[in-house]
Amino acid sequence: GVAPLGQLTLQKEHQIQFQLMEATFYHMPQPCDSERLRNYLQRQPVQTPPHYPQQQLPHSDTFEFFQRLSTETLFFIFYYMEGTKAQYLAAKALKKQSWRFHTKYMMWFQRHEEPKIINEEYEQGTYIYFDYEKWGQRKKEGFTFEYKYLEDRDLN
């Protein structure tokens, strides 16, 4: 380095500043400090080998990208990344694939066939749903999907 104006001895106050800064240098802020608390998937920074991807793919935060993900991946994102943009995009992608969210059971349903009954209040028929406790898709026959439990916000 160069110091065109020559060296200056640090003043006492600067030395004190440096000492406090050096002490705090050993406990730096971490990304999680300024983010909402994550219940699952907390950040765990580790040194990864340089030949591994260090960054996410470009455009992986777009709706188009999420549409290419498997249904199970979308369910994983939905349940394990609560309150994030990823959750929003996953929900949007699931809706696009005709999955509907049931706000009482907190599960996603998809018509297996045309419902047998459709009226103002509900529809009834055979549905596929994703069971987040057993972590898998299940079929339910003769299920009544009441529209008051239908999550119908416009995700735009």
The residues that touch other proteins, with contacts defined as CB under 8 A, are 1-8, 10-11, 14, 16-25, 27-30, 32-34, 36-37, 42, 44
CB of 33 to other proteins, least distance (A): 5
Q: Let me know: does 139 contact 112? Beta carbons within 8 Å.
A: yes
CB of 11 to other proteins, least distance (A): 7
Our CB check for other proteins shows the closer of 17 and 103 to be 17
> Per-residue b/e over 40-77, b at no fewer than 16 CB within 10 Å?
eeeeeeeeeeeeeeeeeeeeeeeeeebeebebeebbbb
Our CB check for other proteins shows the closer of 27 and 59 to be 27
Our CB check for other proteins shows the closer of 18 and 64 to be 18
CB of 147 to other proteins, least distance (A): 23
Q: Sort strands 100-102 and 107-111 into parallel, antiparallel or unpaired.
A: antiparallel
Between CA 60 and CA 68, with CA 62 as vertex, the angle to 5 degrees is: 75
Our CB check for other proteins shows the closer of 55 and 70 to be 55
- Quick count: other Cβ atoms within 10 Å of Cβ 90? 22
CB of 76 to other proteins, least distance (A): 21
